[in-house]
Amino acid sequence: MTVLEQIIEAIQSGKRRQLKVLIEDAMEEGIAAEQILNEGFLPAMENVSRKYHMEQFYVPEVILASQAMQVGTTILEEYMGGRKLPVIGRAVIGTVKGDLHNIGKNIVIMMMRGAGFEVLDLGYDVAADTFIRKAQEFEADIICMSAMLTTTMVEMKKVIGKLVNKGLRDRYVVMVGGAPVTEAFAAAIGADLYTQDAGSAAKMAREALKERGKL
Ligand code: B12
């Protein structure tokens, strides 16, 4: 197994200490930090996402893997003398108004950060105006909304409506998710992206920015 393959393996199994040693090995072999990110971290994240879909992984495994990836990102940045890894995009994320569920949202944050996004966490019970104000202040590319209740999903539509009214709709990619949210609902409210899980959320966000020529 190459060192990059071992890095993929270590992230998937959430082995942080082993990951640190492997990153050191990779750096000693002269592999650049960006290559470790693109050919180690990102494929690991895709594998985790696939395994979650296939019910080979459950939430605890996904959390461990995301934590390992975050630790790995910090180690990579330390090796680069504190220089930050290239930020591929900026996102604000929150759970919509009236909704206090944040476990899924937090996993999405970990995955997106691991994939190279700068993410501003707005927390839960986030009002429509706050999503928009924070997106503007943070100069976000993506607005991510999470909802876990059928009664709060409608808040997502409110945010999109306000973006349209303010003439800001085209400025942001709007991504929605959470257990009751479906592809059909996302399309009906005019969101740009929907995914079922955190791993594919990060991947899809990356692809959306690529399509818009921002990457
Ligand atoms: C934990 C939990 C709680 C905790 C929340 C703690 C917390 N800090 O989050 C507490 C106890 C507070 C809670 C309260 C309530 N809950 Co609750 N809760 C759950 C439970 C058991 C698990 C949710 C969870 O964390 N899942 C694990 C995470 C990892 O999964 P996930 O959230 O789906 O996230 C994944 C994806 O959806 C996706 N994703 C999530 N967000 C986003 C965002 C984007 C942009 C993208 C792309 C992807 C994405 O990626 C994640 C990772 O892969 C569910 C039941 C269930 N089995 O789902 C009920 C559930 C969601 N709750 C429910 C209810 C009814 C309530 C209460 C109203 C109960 C009550 N009567 O008080 C309150 C509401 C409080 C409020 N106003 O929000 C119902 C919702 C029914 C419905 N369809 O509306 C459920 C389904 C239980 C049930 N079967 O009845 N709950």
pLDDT category of residue 73 using cuts at 50, 70 and 90 = confident
Indicate which atom in ligand 1 lies nearest the CA of residue 180.
83
pLDDT computed for residue 214 by the predictor = 76
Cα 191 to ligand 1 centroid, rounded to whole Å: 21
Please name the residue whose Cα sits nearest to atom 5 of ligand 1.
101
Residue among 47, 73, 77, 40 at smallest CA distance from 62: 47
Strand partners, 96: 126
CATH number of 89-211: 3.40.50.280
In the predicted structure, residue 191 carries a pLDDT above the cut 80: yes
- The confidence score (pLDDT) of residue 212 equals 85
The helix or strand, by DSSP H or E, that contains position 134, with its residue range, turns out to be helix 128-138
CA of residue 196 to ligand 1 center, whole Å: 14
Q: Which residue has the higher pLDDT, 110 or 167?
A: 167
pLDDT for 46 equals 83
What confidence tier does 82 reach under pLDDT thresholds 50, 70, 90?
low
Q: Look at 166 and 107; give whichever has higher pLDDT.
A: 166
Which band of pLDDT confidence, cut at 50, 70 and 90, is reported for residue 169? very high
Please give all residues whose beta carbon lies within 6 A of any atom in ligand 1, as ranges.
Answer: 59, 98-105, 107-108, 144-146, 148-151, 175-180, 195, 197-198, 201
Higher-pLDDT residue of 205, 200: 205
Nearest CA to ligand 1 atom 33: 179
Q: What is the mean pLDDT of the chain?
A: 92
DSSP, collapsed to helix, strand or coil, labels residue 56 as coil
Report the nearest-CA residue for atom 80 of ligand 1.
149
Q: Report how far apart the first and last C-alpha atoms of the chain are (Å, whole number).
A: 31
- Ligand 1 atom with the shortest distance to the CA of 204: 47
- Average pLDDT rounded to a whole number, residues 149-177: 98
User: How far away, in angstroms, is 207 Cα from ligand 1 center?
Assistant: 27
Least-confidence region, from 32-46, 125-139, 182-196:
32-46
- Per CATH, the number for 3-79 is 1.10.1240.10
Closest CA to 65 of 102, 3, 110: 110
pLDDT at 17 over 90: yes
Sequence ranges of the chain with CATH classification 3.40.50.280: 89-211
Query: Which protein residue has the closest C-alpha to ligand 1 atom 77?
Result: 99
For residue 101, pLDDT over 80 is answered with: yes
**Does residue 126 register a pLDDT over 80?**
yes
Q: What is the pLDDT of residue 135?
A: 98
Backbone angles phi, psi at 100, to 5 degrees: -105, 0
Contacts of residue 28, defined as CB under 8 A and 6 or more positions apart, other chains included, come to none
Centre a 10 Å sphere on the Cβ of residue 5 and count the other Cβ atoms it contains.
Answer: 14
Average pLDDT over residues 129-154: 98
Predicted confidence band of residue 111 (pLDDT cuts 50, 70, 90): confident
Ligand 1 centre distance from Cα of residue 42 (Å): 27
Please give the model's pTM, rounded to 2 decimal places: 0.85
CATH 1.10.1240.10 domain position(s) in the chain: 3-79
145 CB contacts (<8 Å, ≥6 apart)?
Answer: 93, 94, 95, 96, 131, 155, 156, 159, 174, 175, 176, 177
Ligand 1 atom closest to 200 (CA):
47
Mean pLDDT of 189-201: 91
The predicted pLDDT at position 11 comes to 94
